[in-house]
Amino acid sequence: MDYNLNPKEYYPPMHTAEHILNGTIDKIFGCGRAFSAHIEKKKSKCDYHFDRNLTPEEIQTINEKVNSVIIANMPVKEEFINRNEAEKVFNLARLPDEAGEILRTIKIGDYDKCLCSGPHVESTKEIGAFKIISSNFENGVLRIRFKINEQ
């Protein structure tokens, strides 16, 4: 698929891969989603509050899980939720005031759901292969750098 975006917009396949990575990290480690992310077409990074670096075995496990979600060809759907209901399910700390009373969520099959205003693919099969290219830990922050190989 051809995604024509201005340079300040997220690249939909990479942005959707970030959601899957965040869901996977939270499911495995229970540390929550990334508190900071920088998403680019060629490579991206996410920062997590954590207590150490990942082991090679953990990196392999994360890569395998993220790729299994991608291969599963899960639908990526937008849904809308009232802010009061969202407070019960999501952390709204980073939500800008101008977001309004009706908030957009992105749901990836039955695997992940989060608040988001960015562009996404319609199905995980559009993402391509995911790979963590490096990780490091410093001052309570785990940084994971990753890329996708388009199909």
Q: What is the pLDDT of residues 31-76, one digit of tens each?
A: 999 999 999 999 999 999 999 999 999 999 999 999 999 999 999 9
Q: How confident is the model at residue 1 (pLDDT cuts 50, 70, 90)?
A: very low
In a domain, 84, yes or no: yes
In a domain, 26, yes or no: yes
Token pair of 49, please? Answer: 């509050």
In a domain, 144, yes or no: yes
Q: How many domains does the chain have?
A: 1
DSSP character string of 52-108: SPPPHHHHHHHHHHHHHHHHTT-BEEEEEEEHHHHHHHS--TT--GGG-SEEEEEEE
Q: Is the pTM of this model over 0.85?
A: yes
In a domain, 1, yes or no: no
In a domain, 7, yes or no: no
CATH classification of the domain holding 19: 3.30.980.10
For 106-119, what is each residue's pLDDT tens digit? 999 999 999 998 99
Residue listed under structure tokens 């990575």 = 21
> Domain of 56?
12-149
In a domain, 3, yes or no: no
Question: Residue 148 — left, alpha, or beta (φ > 0 → left; ψ -120 to 50 → alpha)?
Answer: beta
Q: Is the pLDDT of residue 9 over 90?
A: no
The reported pLDDT for the residue numbered 30 is 96
The reported pLDDT for the residue numbered 3 is 41
Average pLDDT over residues 114-127: 95
Distance between CA atoms of residues 18 and 20, nearest Å: 5
In a domain, 6, yes or no: no
The reported pLDDT for the residue numbered 7 is 41
In a domain, 131, yes or no: yes
Comparing 54-58, 84-88, 135-139, the range with the smallest average pLDDT is 84-88
